[in-house]
Structure 1
């Protein structure tokens, strides 16, 4: 059983709030760090106002609440956002936190050097360099985001850059957040500290998504409009193989343990399929 008894969550959005809620349901101490007190915290969670860019202030909060684990759930969809976690990393180290869970929750970042994945990897390497134990959790694409990021919700088709034959991992948000809660409250530290956990709720190529959504594929060279650069980069990552939770960037192949190896740490859990999430 885990020895972690006190948790701090940074970021109360799509991933952070349900993680905080789930942890609180396990009768452990949970604080939610926020720059303002405008949000209503989940039941059993204490909202603590602190400037998360202020290392000394965050350190003081973590010490005051005897925090064992810090979970970052900020939006790390850019290199700049990923770098914004560094003060929290420094504070966690200064406060002698036992485990740091960075805001990965997406495609594998280890070995990546460019874009938002490069920013995530740089932060993880920094945490390692200062001796802060961490658990990196790779999930592939949030299943709920398929219509948004493939363009299905705007033109009714699945956007593809390249051939579209490379497998991509998809994991639902409830499965991701539920796994985090389970792992942090049920697994021993030896299975978490300086470990990589790879999750996969379902697996499909972009070409295979089209018949699931009863539509066709639209091949494009890039995506324009607001957020277009990010989506273009993401679709290029998918084409290169990096959309799989099991991607090994250094060797440009899947890891031997597989994209769903982390699923084994939650025995008996049913992982939602693409069809189940979208009622297809």
Structure 2
């Protein structure tokens, strides 16, 4: 049984890649009443149906209508946002997408807000993507609501984004192969999110979790051991040069 002080959790974006794993983790824990907030218009979704069958409640709201959002969030102890910046193939900043949720959460009496952070913590880097997330983090931290901001590093399932091609057994190094990075599986991100509600130190805090922190060379070795074969290795020096000149963070697939 959970020792969390919270019981009612609402998840926004639960039919997405990450949101579904987080909703799954809360349902597996069995200690929470789970509500899934979905954007209107109402439609049938296989993931939503699966979550409903396991006990989640689905509610729909027009995110541009504050009254609808407030009504949908009434009774919520914890609001977990896993929204994407790319909605309906149109780019919307994390700030623009989440600010209505934060405003409604305050009015609805939500106790804790977990924003759609989940990814790398870009320190000392100015980029529209990371700057946008930082802007919303500041908004959350001054909102008056309890909050937990969770950094997880790159999702393990998306290592192909940084050059690991499992099908071709090929690794392309765009940066120093001895550089270390933090990675976390989507499954573990879900579990960490649930556990954060049980940890007093996670209240009004930025927490950092990682399934593994390994260099590119160490990751390559793990892939070779798992596949039982030697991989082809390519070093893209031109991209490495540009990478050193200006790091370009890649959005997490929330």
TM-score range normalised by the length of the shorter chain? 0.7 to 0.9
Structure 2 runs not aligned, ≥5 long: 225-230, 241-246
Residues 49 and 160 of structure 1: CA distance in aligned 2, closer, same or farther (over 3 Å): same
Q: Which of the numbers 112, 115, 118 marks the counterpart of 1:105?
A: 118
TM-score, L = length of structure 2:
0.77
CA-CA distance at 1:99 after TM superposition: 0.6
Q: Is the Cα–Cα contact under 8 Å of residues 34 and 50 in structure 1 kept in the other structure?
A: yes
Q: Which whole-Å CA distance do the structure 1 matches of 2:64 and 2:121 have between them?
A: 25
CA-CA distance at 1:154 after TM superposition: 7.0
Where does 1:4-83 land on structure 2 (aligned, <5 Å)?
A: 4-12=6-14, 13-25=16-28, 26-35=30-39, 36-39=42-45, 40-42=49-51, 43-63=54-74, 66-76=75-85, 80-83=92-95
Residues 52 and 150 of structure 1: CA distance in aligned 2, closer, same or farther (over 3 Å): farther
Q: Which whole-Å CA distance do the structure 2 matches of 1:89 and 1:112 have between them?
A: 26
TM-score, L = length of structure 1:
0.70
Residues 149 and 110 of structure 1: CA distance in aligned 2, closer, same or farther (over 3 Å): closer
Q: Is the Cα–Cα contact under 8 Å of residues 50 and 58 in structure 1 kept in the other structure?
A: yes
Structure 1 runs not aligned, ≥5 long: 224-231, 238-280
What secondary structure sits across from 1:108 in the alignment? coil
CA-to-partner distance for each residue in 1:200-255, whole Å, 9 max, x for gaps?
A: 111212233233333244333349xxxxxxxx8237x9xxxxxxxxxxxxxxxxxx
Q: Which of the numbers 131, 154, 175 marks the counterpart of 1:141?
A: 154
Runs of 4+ more than 3 Å apart: 76-81, 109-113, 153-156
Q: Which of the numbers 201, 213, 217 marks the counterpart of 1:203?
A: 213
CA-CA distance at 1:147 after TM superposition: 2.6
Residues 152 and 122 of structure 1: CA distance in aligned 2, closer, same or farther (over 3 Å): same
Q: Is the Cα–Cα contact under 8 Å of residues 34 and 48 in structure 1 kept in the other structure?
A: yes
CA-CA distance at 1:96 after TM superposition: 2.0
- Find the counterpart in structure 1 of residue 172 from structure 2: 159
The structure with higher relative contact order (CA 8 Å, sep 6+) is 2
Q: Which whole-Å CA distance do the structure 1 matches of 2:61 and 2:125 have between them?
A: 31
Residues 129 and 183 of structure 1: CA distance in aligned 2, closer, same or farther (over 3 Å): closer
Q: Is the Cα–Cα contact under 8 Å of residues 130 and 249 in structure 2 kept in the other structure?
A: no
Range moving further from structure 2, 113-122 or 94-103? 113-122
RMSD: 2.7
What secondary structure sits across from 1:234 in the alignment? coil
Q: Is the Cα–Cα contact under 8 Å of residues 23 and 190 in structure 2 kept in the other structure?
A: no
Q: Is the Cα–Cα contact under 8 Å of residues 33 and 47 in structure 1 kept in the other structure?
A: yes
- Find the counterpart in structure 2 of residue 180 from structure 1: 193
CA-CA distance at 1:158 after TM superposition: 2.2
- Find the counterpart in structure 1 of residue 182 from structure 2: 169
Q: Does 1:2 align with 2:17?
A: no
Residues 217 and 71 of structure 1: CA distance in aligned 2, closer, same or farther (over 3 Å): same
- Find the counterpart in structure 1 of residue 228 from structure 2: none
- Find the counterpart in structure 2 of residue 234 from structure 1: 249
